[in-house]
Amino acid sequence: MPIARPAASVSLEGFELRVLRIPLVAPFTTSFGTEEVREAIVVRALTTDGEGWGEIVTAAAPLYSSEYTQGAWDVARRFLVPALLAQGTVAPEEVSGVLAPFVGHRMAKAGIELAVLDAGLRAEGRVLGEYLGAVHDRVPSGVSVGIQRDPAALVDVVGGYLDEGYVRIKIKIKPGRDIAETAALREAFGGIPLQVDANSAYTLADIDTLAELDRFDLLLIEQPLQEDDIVDHATLARALRTPVCLDESIVSRKAAADALALAAASVVNIKAGRVGGYLEAVAIHDLCRDAAIPVWCGGMLETGIGRAANAALAALPGFTLPGDVSASSRFYARDIVTEPAVLEDGHVRVPTGHGIGVQIDEIALEDFTVARETVRR
């Protein structure tokens, strides 16, 4: 369902941008590299009716996608923020249109849109989940597990997450670190809900290896091929029994529609940052729901800001698979919100406070800030 009731317009006075560097509790290794510190940009919208918070989910290097922190910082301060400030008053639903002339930079746009949306909803005393169309008050929590030293180490780490109560395990894979890892988990934990994420590490030449995964009854394989390999993903999907899920490839509702039309995916990972905002994410949810394609909420190692908004998004009715909506402690010993998301019976609560529903821990925010700039009208 499209947004039922628009949010209040806000009168913008400025935006504060900060680069944060937050240490991870353990290194996180994917097919494209290892992160030990999360670098993110926090956006504070300053309006005549109060503040709003958003998060730009870029990483330090353009490895997951072409966006990266310094690029997002530059486009935000030089183009996106000035374009919005030039409007003066703007409704959250108008932000994407104002920013549309600037090509790409969806993560930067998403973080700014969220800050405006949070400000508008807080000013009206409304809750993000209700605004987006959430139908649950808590969401099942899956965990994304990085590549470990060897399969035995992976079994140890996954065992710990299962003990904590996570209801679905996703492991990162890459060529040579796939079949033995998956086999070890099936052997140790039987039929747990399990899926794999390749982050584009394979090509169609690997089709035989990928077909070997069929025997493990996985929920899905996520983004085996490159971002723009839509036709190749369709070819692969026809050859595999394991459902193919797209992440990196789904950058917009148009990309989602094209992928579905070509039968390149039978499941879709929705990340607000990757698609340019929570409103675009809802549109993709709606389109997939109409097409009877299950979706789930992806994660970008968000701080408590993005984590709260993701829980709200994941509570929409089409999110029928557990998402990468884990507790804050999965990644962080210290978060930048006063009540970080916790795991309760394998679920994370959808915040009920106004706006994104969490309060910023200004001391933690300050401690993790490595750069800041305020752009005013």
Active site residues: 172, 271
Give the residues across from 141 on adjacent strands: 323
Residue 299 within binding range of ligand SMG, rule CB under 6 A: yes
Q: How many residues bind ligand SMG (CB under 6 A)?
A: 15
CB of 169 to Mg ion, least distance (A): 14
CB of 93 to ligand SMG, least distance (A): 26
| DSSP class of 127 | B
CA-to-CA distance for 134 and 318, rounded, in angstroms? 10
* Interface positions, 70-129, toward ligand SMG (CB under 6 A): none
**Nearest to ligand SMG of 45, 255 (CB atom):** 255
Residue 39 within binding range of ligand SMG, rule CB under 6 A: no
Residue written as token pair 């609560």: 349
Q: Mutual orientation of helices 106-124 and 278-290 as an angle, nearest 10°?
A: 100
The Cα-based distances of 239 to 53, 171, 268 in angstroms read: 44, 22, 18
Nearest to 317 by CA among 139, 132, 135, 130: 135
* Interface positions, 164-223, toward Mg ion (CB under 5 A): 197, 222
- Of positions 197, 229, 286, 335, contacts ligand SMG by CB under 6 A: 197
- Of positions 47, 182, 326, 328, contacts ligand SMG by CB under 6 A: 326
**Nearest to Mg ion of 124, 227 (CB atom):** 227
Instruction: Report the SS3 class of residue 246.
Output: strand
- Of positions 35, 55, 247, 286, contacts Mg ion by CB under 5 A: 247
**Nearest to ligand SMG of 151, 224 (CB atom):** 224
CB of 259 to Mg ion, least distance (A): 14
CA-to-CA distance for 93 and 113, rounded, in angstroms? 8
Chosen from Mg ion, ligand SMG, none, partner binding at 276 (C-beta under 5 to 8 Å by type): none
- Which amino acid is located at 329 in the chain? S
Spell out a b/e string for 287-298, using b for 16 or more CB atoms within 10 Å of the CB, else e: bbbeeebbbbbb
Using only C-alpha atoms, the chain has a radius of gyration, in whole angstroms, of 20
**Nearest to ligand SMG of 120, 299 (CB atom):** 299
Nearest to 123 by CA among 54, 55, 56, 45: 45
CB of 366 to ligand SMG, least distance (A): 24
Residue 144 within binding range of ligand SMG, rule CB under 6 A: yes
Residue 35 within binding range of ligand SMG, rule CB under 6 A: yes
Residues contributing to the site for ligand SMG (CB under 6 A): 30, 35, 59, 64, 144, 197, 199, 247, 298-302, 324, 326
